[in-house]
Amino acid sequence: MKLIWLGHSGFRIEIGNQILLLDPWMTGNPMFPEDARAKAIKGATHILVTHGHFDHAPEASAIAAELGIPLVGIPELVNLLALGTDIQTIGFNKGGTVQLGDVAVTMVNAIHSSSIKSPSGDVYAGVEAGFMISGEGHTIYATGDTDVMADMGVMNDLHAPDIGILCAGGYYTMDMKRAAYAAKKFFNFKVVIPCHYRTFPLLEQSADELKAGLPDVDVIEPKVMVAIDI
C-alpha cells in the first residue's frame, strides 16, 4: 500500500487493485507542484470526495472527466459535481459500504459543513463525511474535515482502523491537540498521518503537538508526492 500526499487534504491511495484519489485539490493548491499533476492522477480508478468546499471537491469533476472514472461520495455532492456531464457517480450514504474492486469503502460521520460556491452564493452540497477504506489487511480512517466527536468510539468498535489520516490544522477543523485526543481516546492507530495543515498561515504549521500527544503511535508528517509505504 502507498499513501501519497497531494498537499492539504488530498491523497493518492494505492491499495489492493485500486488507485483512489481522496479530495484531490491541486490547481491553486500552494503546496502542490503544478508539474506533478499528471503523475498524481495517473491510473486512478475512483475519486472519493468528503464534502463540497473549494479545497476538497471542485477539481474532482475535471479529473473524473479526463480519466473517465467515477466520483464516489454522498449523492447530493456527486450529483452536483456531475451535473451537465456524463461523469459516472457512485452515490451512497453514511453507514453504507461500496466495494471498489477488492477495496471496501464505508462512509462515516463527520462534523463540519458542505457547500460549493456559485455566482448566486453557496450551494448546498450534501452533508460532510469521512471514509473507512479497507484493503490489504488494513483499514484507513480518512476523517475528512471534522472536529472530535463521540461517534468515533462507534467507528472504532465497528472498523478498528489501524491507519488514521486526520485533519489537524485547526481553525476550520480539529487542531493537533484535539486530533491527538481523538486518536488516543477512541482509536488504536499504528500510524497517523496529519493533513489539512501547513497550506495557509491560518493553519497549524507543525505536527509536533500531535506527536507529543501520541508517543506510542508512528506519526508521519507527509511530504507532497513522496510515498508512504505501509
**Considering the chain, what is the average pLDDT of its residues?**
97
In the predicted model, is pLDDT for residue 120 greater than 90? Answer: no
Question: pLDDT tier at 198 (50, 70, 90 boundaries)?
Answer: very high
Question: pLDDT tier at 216 (50, 70, 90 boundaries)?
Answer: very high
Of 130 and 118, the structure prediction assigns the larger pLDDT to: 130
Domain of residue 70, residue span: 2-229
In the predicted model, is pLDDT for residue 58 greater than 90? Answer: no
What is the C-alpha separation between 141 and 104, in angstroms, rounded? 12
3-state helix, strand, coil in the chain (%, to 5): 20, 30, 50
E-assigned strands of the chain?
A: 2-5, 11-15, 18-22, 46-48, 71-73, 89-91, 97-100, 103-109, 115-118, 121-124, 129-135, 138-142, 163-167, 191-195, 218-219, 227-229
Average pLDDT on 103-125 reads: 93
What is the C-alpha separation between 41 and 93, in angstroms, rounded? 25
Of 118 and 154, the structure prediction assigns the larger pLDDT to: 154
pLDDT of res. 89? 98
Cβ pair 85, 65 in contact under 8 A = yes
When divided into structural domains, the chain yields a total of 1
Q: In DSSP terms, which residues pair with 191 in a beta bridge?
A: 163, 218
What is the C-alpha separation between 64 and 45, in angstroms, rounded? 9
Question: pLDDT tier at 118 (50, 70, 90 boundaries)?
Answer: confident
CB-neighbour burial class of residue 36 (10 A; exposed 0-12, middle 13-18, buried 19+): middle
Grid cell at residue 104 = 471496501
Grid cell at residue 128 = 460532510
In the predicted model, is pLDDT for residue 119 greater than 90? Answer: no
Whole-structure pTM value: 0.97
In the predicted model, is pLDDT for residue 162 greater than 90? Answer: yes
Give the domain CATH number at 72: 3.60.15.10
What backbone torsions phi and psi does residue 130 show, to the nearest 5 degrees?
-125, 180
